[in-house]
Amino acid sequence: MVSPHAESYIAIAILITMGTALFVEPRNGKLQKWIYWCFAPLIAITLLAIAFQSVLGGLGMGLIVILLLFGGYLRYKV
């Protein structure tokens, strides 16, 4: 079952994830590390769980969010 406004929640989660991956550098200070690895994924997972009306659905899609952020982190190593 999907929330009536699922598209909005998913769009906001994508904006938060991609904005964080592009504009926050996780190697510059503790606050940016916390935003990159904790707050942004947590907000995105919460929004996805609301959109899908399922905690497991939110966690499953949240894994993709974490993998995207990990890929964004690896761009600094290459």
Q: What is the pLDDT along the chain (78 residues), one digit of tens a residue?
A: 788 899 999 999 999 999 998 888 888 889 998 999 999 999 999 999 999 999 998 999 989 999 988 888 887 766
Q: What is the pLDDT of residue 78?
A: 62
Is residue 41 within 8 Å of 65, Cβ to Cβ?
A: yes
Residues comprising the chain, all counted: 78
pLDDT at position 39 is 94
For the chain, the structural domain boundaries read: 6-74
Task: Give the predicted TM-score (pTM) of the model.
Answer: 0.85
